[in-house]
Structure 1
Amino acid sequence: MAGRELYICVCLAITMTLTSCDPVDQGELHVIHKRQAPGERPSCQTGATVPATRVDTTSRLQAIRSLFPNVPGGAVHAYIVPSTDAHQSEYPADYDLRRGYISGFGGSAGTAVILTNKAALWTDGRYHLEADENLDCNWTLMKQGIPGVPSITDWLVDQLKTTTGARVGASPFLMNARTWKSYSEKFAKSGISMVEVDNDLVDQVWTSGRPAQPNSPINALPMEYAGKSWDSKIGDVRGKMRAKGAAAYIVTSLDETAWLFNLRASDIAYNPFFISYAIVESNRVRLYILNHAAKLTQDPTDEATTSKLYQHLSSAMDGSCTSSSGSCVEVLGYSPIGIKAAVTDIASNSSNNIWVSLLCNQAIYSAIPEAQRIHDKSAIALMKSKKNIVERDGMQASHNRDSVALITFLERLEREVKAGQQWTEVKAAMELKKERLKQDLNRGLSFPTIAGSGSNGAIIHYNPSNATDKQITTSDMFLLDSGGQYLDGTTDVTRTLHFGQPSDYEKECYTRVLMGHIDLALLKWPKGLYGREIDAIARAPLWEAGLRYLHGTGHGIGAYLSVHEGPGRISLSHSLNPSDQALEEHMYFSDEPGYYEDGKFGIRLETIVTIEFAQTAHPFPNSVFLGFKPVTLVPYEPHLIKFDMLGPKQIKWLNDYHKRVEEEIGPKLSAAALQWVKARTMPISYQTTNSATTYTHSVLFMMGAAVVSLMSLR
């Protein structure tokens, strides 16, 4: 799923989540329109059509500006609103969508900055089109990464240069400490102060229509899906703490608390998380959750488990824990202020060193004296990303069921579109969701389905709505990016289709994306490389023709966790990201190059792959090589492929992949879906002579398509 990844933190420029690895690649941006002040935006010109998704923020801006003079400690002259929550989540709960409320922009990544007389929003290349449509004409759109667009700090320094004693405010709970520090240092050089506003200004003005704070039931994940007990995981964390000399480790990321304690919930849409913090010490474990008293004794709501929360965590019914060895979990009420107080209390003993991850927010970070602070990579993220054998089996099983759902849907969609039945993007998203819900162990979607027909496919993170809904026809490309959550895995797959006669140019673009997709899947590399060191492999066929895409090539993916997972990622943009990790066996990533033309079409091909030890023809001393194995098993679109552009290795990979699809997924399909697959998985014959290269798949594909058409008439 392009962009909603795994991990940008260019701390001198813009606040971005570190839990996604396919945000915009700073090194891969073509020069398009730079920043656009309201007077420069075409849709803000006199007589221009107002986009249906635009949000009027005039009264909201007036309300927040009215609070500037009354901030404790002195008035502020600007206010920064990031996208994240107190846990630096990539996708916060609806309750925490503060930046979305104040700006009207609905994308997952971006930062709003409000001055007394101006407002600007920074977002990356995935969202440039969407932001322009969402933002009303109070806002300047800053297209992050485009040459000439200033960083947040540079822009604010310029805007406030004539203001004596200028102060820039932000909530310390909503910004990670590294970004806070970089902003503060840059502002200080120009005499500007960065000030903590504990009572967030957006919270003060968002008093009407705000969603309730999430409070979903929490269920234990059985060992048959988790593969490792929570107390064993705690033991691993403590081992890392001892190696670091840490008396306590503060768990701040929601995916980490869910994984660590083998618990799942639904506080965050599409992510099985619950709002929480945790503190691990050598002889004590604390878990902070909302409405803890009721949840401890609540009956499980997932049929897969029979344990109540207090039973699963070996605590008393009131959440207390009498064990002196830390073999049970003490469950307490959640509050950001409360966790900060607990951290402060631990730090009151000057011999206690406290470990917080690079994603830790400024409020918790600043509660730890510098001499006692270990600010480093997460103790949990790498362990979580390397799946155990049970998780690996579950990932393949869940992807197989998911492939059945997607193939079943695509066969019906193509058949009915070609028959003239009306299909729209919204209908496609709804019907595909129904297919996934039919599958065993499904627990919903892993993200909102991206179903883009024609020009909507060029919007990288497009979400179909009634306001933007387009018909799916035989005339346009159709990009479908979707995924599901299962008790045994998380899925994410993208296929691009055309149900009519694509142009030669569309076929060339699709083929170049496919070539890069295959080339990355074929790669073998020496263990120790980072994803950024292999990312260009997927881009090379596009670069050869002068084409580019604006997102990362691969993000990690969780096991019934987040659809975007770190700490590894495959993206050119992460050379400055200190949380980045080398690629290791048993990690799972997306392989998803793409190509997009504004107003015309979008192409993306995404297959989840896992890293395995690779066999090589020649051993090299003291070297281990790694490679990818596909996990997603859904065929590609043959009549969008220019077979004469493919090389022998690419053709062999495609034939081998399609053979796996037919053999492993075929037996699970209906007769009609199986014939649809067979028409797309016929082997490609490749013969080279002195005078010509011959490809026979096209004729076979047309014959297979004819068979499917005849069967559909029966």
Structure 2
Amino acid sequence: EHQSEYIAPYAKRREWISGFSGSAGTAVITQEKAALWTDGRYHIQANAELTPRDEWVLMKEGLPGSPTLGQWLLSQCQTSDKIGFDARLLSQRQNSILQHELQPKELVLTPIKPNLIDQIRSDERPPLPLSTAFVHPIERSGVSSAEKIRAIREHLKTTGADLLVASALDEICWVLNVRGSDITNTPVIISYLIVTPNTAVWFVSDSQLSPEIHAHLKEGGVTTQPYEDFHSYLQNIEGQRALVNDLRCGASVYFALKQRGMDLVENDFITEQKSIKNNVELEGIKNCHKHDAVAVVSLLHWLENKLEKGEVVTEYDVAEKAEQLRSQQKDYVSLSFDTISGSGPNGAIIHYKPNKESAATVTKDKLFLLDSGGQYLGGTTDVTRTVHFGIPTEHEKLCNTLVLKGHINLATTIFPPGTTGIRLDSFARQALWKYGLDYRHGTGHGVGAFMNVHEGPHGLSYRETKKFPFKPGMTITIEPGYYEEGNFGIRIENLLIVKHVKTPFMFAGSPSLGFENITCIPIQTKLVDASLLEQSEIKWLNDHNQWCLDTLSPLIQSDDILQWLKNECLPI
């Protein structure tokens, strides 16, 4: 309902009907066929998970010959057919695009209530989660909730709007300076928010609110209404003009406001404000990355030791150990997503999640990919390292080095203000392209401040959606990769902060922008073919690893782990 990437069990309708558990995908069922669309991150996973496999047609988005959802519906339906959908689950932007695609046959998107999947699984559907909300204090947020609401009201005045409706959970929790645990690994409360020039109403289950939260809300002038009353509230709301984020707002909200005769204005004011971190947030993010790096370095040391001793370690064991080591760090709250722990061919499954029963054994003769992160009171982390614990092949070293060259090329790029992610994405692919190689996912995404691990509106991608310009204070991952199905996967991911950089000149009087890396985990040099690197790239790699050693040495208590880190950070 809230256009969330990660959702609570009660909302996992597509997974229930199809078996596919990925965070992105659309299922369509007709009288004769069932089809599922998902992007390049999940092509391998969806092929393995769809159940029953012979009943589902897998549409691999982005590949030649794969029709869009609209194109497929046109081919399957007769003129003026009705297509049922849950208007809460389709964003207004998706609804608008699909309506346009269906015009040639005058197909009609028809909202259906209640949800058909909910009716089928009514007896076994999990309940709405009701975690206890807690205050995210100004010592960590940097700006009070009252100030954020004032900024929204100023924006209402500027745009001539009467109200703003927020349904994206991270936006709501950011505005109110609250956090929760309604969704695993994402510190949010399932709710809605409406802000007008004189009121701010939070639609949330009262059982989730402590006396401390009530006092906090009162300070910000926020009142509450029951979560289940939100849609009926919309049916009686007054106003001429409303601001909505059409990408993160369900079509049901759009329909309700339209029925009230309102002029709806697409607006991502909260999304943009949230993405630009203040100095307090940036300090918290940098600090938590240091502690998170201690956990990851300790994990890699532990894993190498186990393998050297000939002990059996599975991908699942590594994921469990990663969580254990993170939980020992200062201000740790939870993981930020399910750990991706992939040995050999499983590393090519971009969002692979090992399970205890079927996890592969990590061995010294295969590449191992670890993509993991944590939620800390001060920030959110996301890092990927690809390592080899034996002797890598020349082909593996070649591919890894090309990925590294792309990472360095983008991380060191200087660009003018107004630059968007779609313009920078290719910087990370050029080295791979020269060898006829590529990867089927975006190059980077924003990361929240003790919030969603994937955050917009900016990003690094070849997709047309990434048109929001980079601004100082934004965070962004750089994570190029390369994947050979049935063989291995490679990805190198750091988190960086967008900042002003000094240049000899300033075109049009505007300072240029660049990136500051804050991920302090070394990049394995064993997997690098130095003959393929320019001197500037060798310097970057050596400087990065030395910085990691200097940063982490005071924080590591174990002499064995410290010695391992020193060995990993030796220059090439």
- Determine if contact 1:173/1:198 at 8 Å carries over to the other structure: no
Deviations 1:599-644 (A, max 9, x none): 0000000000111111123443423101111111000111100011
Give TM-score, length-normalised by structure 1. 0.78
Cα deviation for residue 184 of structure 1 reads: 2.5
Matching residue of 2:235: 344
What is aligned with 1:563? Answer: 453
Shift of 1:414: 0.8
Distance 1:295 1:591 in 2: 37
Separation in 2 of the partners of 1:618 and 1:656? 26
Matches within 5 A, 1:355-394: 355-358=243-246, 359-369=248-258, 372-394=262-284
**3-state DSSP class of the match of 1:627?**
strand
Paired residue secondary structure (1:189): helix
Unaligned runs of 5+ in 2: none
Amino acid at match of 1:437: S
The alignment status of 1:465 with 2:465, answered yes or no, reads no
Normalised TM-score (structure 2): 0.97
Indicate if the aligned counterparts of 1:557 and 1:565 stay in contact, CA closer than 8 A: yes
Give 1 or 2 for the bigger CA radius of gyration.
1
Match of 1:185 among 93, 100, 109: 100
Give the distance between the partners of 1:504 and 1:253, measured in 2 at CA. 46
Aligned residue runs from structure 1 range 66-77, under 5 A: none
Q: 1:629 to 1:576 in 2, by over 3 A?
A: closer
CA–CA distance in structure 1, aligned partners of residues 109 and 444 of structure 2: 35
What is the aligned partner in structure 1 of residue 546 from structure 2?
659
Residues 1:141 and 2:54 aligned together: no
Q: Distance in 2 between matches of 1:296 and 1:105?
A: 34
C-alpha root-mean-square deviation of aligned residues, in Å?
1.4
CA distance in 1, matches of 2:306, 2:442: 34
1:309 aligns with 2:210: no
State which of 542, 546, 562 in structure 2 corresponds to 1:674: 562
What secondary structure is seen at the aligned counterpart in 2 of 1:360? coil
Where in structure 2 are the equivalents of 1:539-554 lying within 5 Å? Answer: 539-554=429-444
The one-letter code of the counterpart of 1:158 is S
Aligned counterpart in structure 1 of residue 339 of structure 2, from 438, 444, 449 = 449
Moved more, 203-212 or 549-558: 203-212
Q: Which residue of 2 aligns with 1:12?
A: none
Q: Hey, what does 1:241 align to over in structure 2? A: 156
The answer to whether the aligner puts 1:401 opposite 2:291 as a matched pair is yes
Equivalences for residues 483-498 of structure 1 within 5 A: 483-498=373-388
**Residue in structure 2 matched with residue 636 of structure 1 by the alignment:** 523
Residue 467 of structure 1 and its aligned partner are, at CA, apart by: 4.1
CA–CA distance in structure 2, aligned partners of residues 659 and 362 of structure 1? 51
CA contact under 8 A between 1:225 and 1:390: conserved in structure 2? yes
8 A Cα contact 1:442 1:484, kept in partner = yes
SS at match of 1:367: helix
Mapped pair 1:582 → 2:472: no
What's the offset of the Cα at 1:188? Answer: 3.8
Give the Cα separation in 2 of the matches to 1:109 and 1:621.
41
Q: Give the letter aligned to residue 252 of structure 1.
A: S
CA distance in 2, matches of 1:576, 1:627: 21
- Does the CA-based 8 Å contact 2:241-2:265 persist in structure 1? no
Q: What do the CA deviations read for 1:199-238 (whole angstroms, capped 9, x no partner)?
A: 1111110124322211101000122111111001101111
- 2:301 is aligned with 1:411: yes
1:346 maps to a residue whose letter is I
Q: Which amino acid letter does the alignment assign opposite residue 222 of structure 2?
A: V
Question: Match of 2:57, as an amino acid?
Answer: T
Cα deviation, 1:429-475, whole Å, max 9, x if unaligned, reads 00110000000100010000000000000000100013430001111
Structure 2 residue aligned with 1:260: 175
Look up the SS of the partner of 2:55 in the other structure.
coil
| Pairing 1:618-629 to 2, within 5 Å after superposition | 618-629=505-516
The alignment status of 1:596 with 2:483, answered yes or no, reads yes
Task: Return the structure number with greater relative CO, CA threshold 8 A, min gap 6.
Answer: 1
Between the aligned partners of 1:502 and 1:582, the Cα distance in structure 2 is 39
Percent identical: 39
**Residues 190 and 204, structure 2, Cα contact 8 Å, conserved in 1:** yes
Residues 522, 653 of structure 1: 8 Å contact kept? no
- 1:409 Cα deviation from its structure 2 partner: 1.1
Report the counterpart of residue 517 of structure 1 in structure 2.
Answer: 407
Alignment partners' CA distance in 2, 1:289 and 1:540: 48
The 5 A counterparts of 1:263-302 are 263-290=178-205, 292=206, 294-297=207-210
Are the aligned partners of 1:635 and 1:661 in contact in 2 as well (CA < 8 Å)? yes
Q: CA deviation at 1:340?
A: 2.6
Tell me the amino acid that sits aligned with residue 145 of structure 1: G
Over 3 Å counting, the alpha-carbon distance change for 1:617 and 1:678 in structure 2 is farther
Q: Give 1:124 shift.
A: 1.1
Q: CA deviation at 1:655?
A: 2.0
* SS of equivalent to 1:198: coil
Give 1:171 shift: 0.6
Pairing 1:115–2:30 present: yes
CA distance in 1, matches of 2:309, 2:465: 52
Q: Is the 1:175–1:362 Cα contact (8 Å) retained in structure 2?
A: yes
The question of whether the paired residues in 2 share the 8 Å contact of 1:356 and 1:373 is answered with: no
- How far off its partner does 1:576 sit? 4.5
2:448 is paired with a residue of what secondary structure?
Answer: coil
Deviates more, 1:615-624 or 1:257-266: 615-624
Look up the match of 2:130.
Answer: 215
Partners of 1:207 and 1:473 in 2: CA distance: 44
Please give the per-residue CA displacement for 1:642-672, whole angstroms capped at 9, x wherever unaligned: 0111112212211221221111111111211
1:482 to 368, 372, 388: 372
Contact 1:106/1:134 (CA < 8 Å) preserved in 2? Answer: yes
Q: Which amino acid aligns with 1:640?
A: L
The answer to whether the Cα contact below 8 Å between 2:289 and 2:518 also exists between their aligned partners in 1 is yes
2:224 pairs with 1:331:
yes
| 2:514 is the counterpart of 1:609 | no
- Alpha-carbon distance in structure 2 between the residues aligned to 1:124 and 1:485: 26
Match of 1:506 in 2: 396
Residue 309 of structure 1: how far off its partner (Å):
1.0
Q: What's 1:100 paired with?
A: 15
Counterpart among 39, 44, 67 of residue 150 in structure 1: 67
C-alpha contact 1:521 1:628 (8 A) present in aligned 2: yes
> Match for 1:340: what amino acid?
H
Distance 1:186 1:411 in 2: 53
d(CA) in 1 for partners of 2:365 and 2:540? 30
1:648 aligns with 2:561: no
- What SS does the aligned partner of 2:293 have? helix
The separation in 1 between residues aligned to 2:320 and 2:427, in whole angstroms, is: 35
**1:186 to partner: Cα distance:** 3.0
Q: 2:84 aligns with which of 140, 144, 169?
A: 169
Does the 8 Å contact 1:638/1:680 carry over to 2?
A: yes
SS of residue matched to 1:185:
helix
Measure the CA separation in 1 of the matches of 2:94 and 2:506: 44
Check whether the contact 1:507–1:642 (CA below 8 A) recurs between aligned residues. Answer: yes
**CA distance in structure 2 between the aligned counterparts of 1:281 and 1:623, rounded to whole angstroms:** 35
Q: Deviations over 1:472-496 (max 9, x none)?
A: 1111000000000000000000000
More displaced 10-residue stretch of structure 1: 380-389 or 477-486: 380-389
- When residues 640 and 174 of structure 1 are mapped into structure 2, their CA distance, relative to the original with a 3 A threshold, is same
> SS at the partner of 1:613?
strand
1:353 aligns with 2:241: yes
Q: Report the Cα offset of residue 587 of structure 1.
A: 0.4
SS, match of residue 216 in structure 1? coil
CA distance in 1, matches of 2:171, 2:505: 40
> AA paired with 1:435?
L
Q: Which of 131, 152, 160 is the matching residue for 2:77? A: 160
Distance 1:233 1:527 in 2: 25
Paired residue secondary structure (1:354): strand
